[in-house]
Amino acid sequence: MQTIIVNSSFVLFLFATIAAAGYGVHLAVLLVLFARTQRTKRAEQAGIIDAFLAKDDRASWPVVTTQLPVYNESDVVHRLIDAVVAMDYPKEKHEIQVLDDSTDDCRSLIDGIVDRYAGEGYDIKVVRRSDRVGYKAGALAYATPKARGEFLAIFDADFQPPTEFLKKCIALLQANPNAACMQGRWAHLNRDESWLTRAQALGIDGHFAIEQGARAWNGLLMNFNGTAGIWRKAAILDEKVGGWSADTLTEDLDLSYRAQLAGWNIEYCVDVACPAELPGNAQAFKSQQRRWATGSIQVARKLLPRIWRSHLTIGQKVEASLHLTHYAVAVFMLILAVVARPMLLLWLNGDTFRPWFFIVWAIVCVTAIIPSAVYSYARFALGEGWSGLRVIPSMLLLGVGICVNNAFAVVRGLYLQGGEFVRTPKSGSVAGQRAEGHYRVTQGQLWLVELFLGVYSLWTFKQYLDSSRYFFSIFLLLYGLGFLWMGILSRPQRAKVKAPAEPVEVSPATPVEVPVDAPVDAPATPALQATSN
C-alpha cells in the first residue's frame, strides 16, 4: 500500500511540477516580449496622445458615456463620481450613467450626488433595474443601448480616474478604428497601507506592466480588466461579439476574448494609469481572487474550443490557453505541498527515482525565480528602479498562502455555470489614511484548511531537515509560513466597524430618460445569459 501511495505521489509530483514550470516559462516569454517592444510602442503611443492634446480640437471629439456599476458602495461612491465629473472632457459630450443596483442607503446617497451635479449642468443620471439579474454584466447590458456615447468608459466604484484619462484613451482609440477597447493600467491609492496591499500592488504591477503590454503589443489576445478602460459601443453591440453575458463571473474577460475572435483588437497603454483601492484585508482579497479564478476557468471552458477552431496562429492559441487557465497554477502548487512528504520517502527508500527527483526540483527552483524577476522588472519599467525587490518576500508568502483559496475556486469553475457576483468591499482608504468600511465579506471555513496545511508543511519541512535535505526544505518552509499566515489573517474576528448601512426597499426599475438625439430605433439589449440565484 505504501508503495502505491509513494509511486502515485511521484506521478502527481512530476505532473504538477512540469505544469507549474510551463506557466513559469510562459511568464518569462511574456517578459521577453514586453522588453523587446515596450520602448517603441510607448514612444508611439505618447506621440499619438501628444498630437491629439496639442490639436485640442474639442469640436471633433466623440461623445463618451461613462458607466459606473455600483452595488452597495457608500464608502467610495462619492469619491468615484466626484473624480468622473472632474475629468477634462467637454460637458456636452460626456454622459455619465450611474448603474445602481444598491439595496441599502447607498441609493439615497447616489441620488443626492447625482441631483447636485445634474443641477450644475452635467449630463448625469441614475440607471436602476428591478433586480440584479446578471449582476454587473446585467447592469452593463441593460444600460449600454441607452447610452448616447460612441464610446463607453467603465469604472468600478473603488477607482478614481485622473482628469486626463478620457481624452488620452480617446486619442488612442481614434487612431485605431479596429480597436474594440482601450485598457489603462491600474495604479494604487493605498499601496503602502499594509504588507498585504504592498504585496498585491507588486503582483498587479507585474500583470499590467509586463503581461498586458506583452500581449497587446505582440499580436496576442489580451483582456479588458473590467474597469479603467473604454469600449467602442459598436464592438459590444456587434452581432458577432454578442454583447455582455453573465454566464461567467468574469464578464470582462469573456467579452474581450469574444470581441477579438470576431476580428476586433484591444489597445493597451501602460502610461495611462488609473488609481484604485486595493483590498485591505485577507477576506476581501480572497473574495476577489475567488471570483477571478472561478471566472477565468469558466471562460476557458466556454471559449477554448472556439479559440482552437479559429483562424488564430498556433502561438496565439497556446498563449490564450495559458492565459485563460493560469489560475490552475494554484492547484499544482497545492499538489506539490501535499505530496512532498511521500516524495521524501521515495528519496530515502530507493534509488530508482532519485535522478528524477533532482531534475524535478531543479525545475522548481528555476521556475520559482521567474515570477520574482518579472515583478521586479515591472517596477523598473514603471520608473521605480528595483524597489520591488524588497516586496518579493511578502509577495511570495501571499502567492503561496492564496493558493488554497484559488485551487478551490478553480475546481468550482470547472462545473459552475455563472454564479453569484460577490463584489469586493472597499473602505475608502487612500495613501496615508486607512479607513474602516461598512461592508464585510461572509467568512467561510477555508481558513481551517489553510492552518492544517500550514502545520503539515512545517512538519514536512522538519522531516526534510532531519534527513539533511536542506535545500529542498526551503520551499516547504515557504509553504508552511504562507498557509499559516493566510489562515491566521482569515480567521473569524470581531471587528470594530461602523454600523452597517440600512437596507431599503427596492422599487421597480427607475425609467431611464434616453436623450432626444439618440436614435429611436436603438439596438435591443444583447442576449444576456444569466443564472438564477
Catalytic residues: 101, 252
Say how far apart CA 527 and CA 533 lie, in whole Å: 18
Cα–Cα distance between 241 and 458 in angstroms, integer?
A: 50
The answer to whether 488 and 446 have CB atoms below 8 angstroms apart is: no
Q: Which residues of 369-383 are buried (b: 16+ CB within 10 A; e: fewer)?
A: ebbbbbbbbbbebbe
Place of cell 517603441: 40
Q: CA-to-CA distance for 431 and 383, rounded, in angstroms?
A: 19
Report the run of H or E that residue 396 belongs to, with start and end: helix 392-401
Structural element, H or E, at residue 229: strand 229-232
Asked if 522 and 514 touch (Cβ cutoff 8 Å), the reply is yes
User: CA 345, CA 347: separation in Å to the nearest integer?
Assistant: 5
Residues 459 and 480: their CA atoms lie apart, in Å, by 9
SS3 507: coil
Residue type, 514: V
SS3 232: strand
- Three-state SS for 290-336 is HHHHHHHHHHHHHHHHHHHHCCCCHHHHHHHHHHHCHHHHHHHHHHH
d(CA 41, CA 425): 36
Residues 315 and 228 sit within 8 Å (Cβ to Cβ): no
DSSP code of residue 73: -
Q: Tell me the DSSP string of 149-215.
A: -SEEEE--TTB---TTHHHHHHHHHHH-TTEEEEEEEEEESSTTS-HHHHHHHHHHHHIIIIIHHHH
Find where cell 476557468 sits. Answer: 297
3-state secondary structure of 35: helix
Burial 351-368 (b: 16+ CB within 10 A, else e): eebeeebeebbebbeebb
Q: Which triple of cell numbers denotes residue 346? A: 521515495
Fill in the DSSP letter of residue 263.
T
Exposed (0-12), middle (13-18) or buried (19+): which is 11, by Cβ within 10 Å? exposed
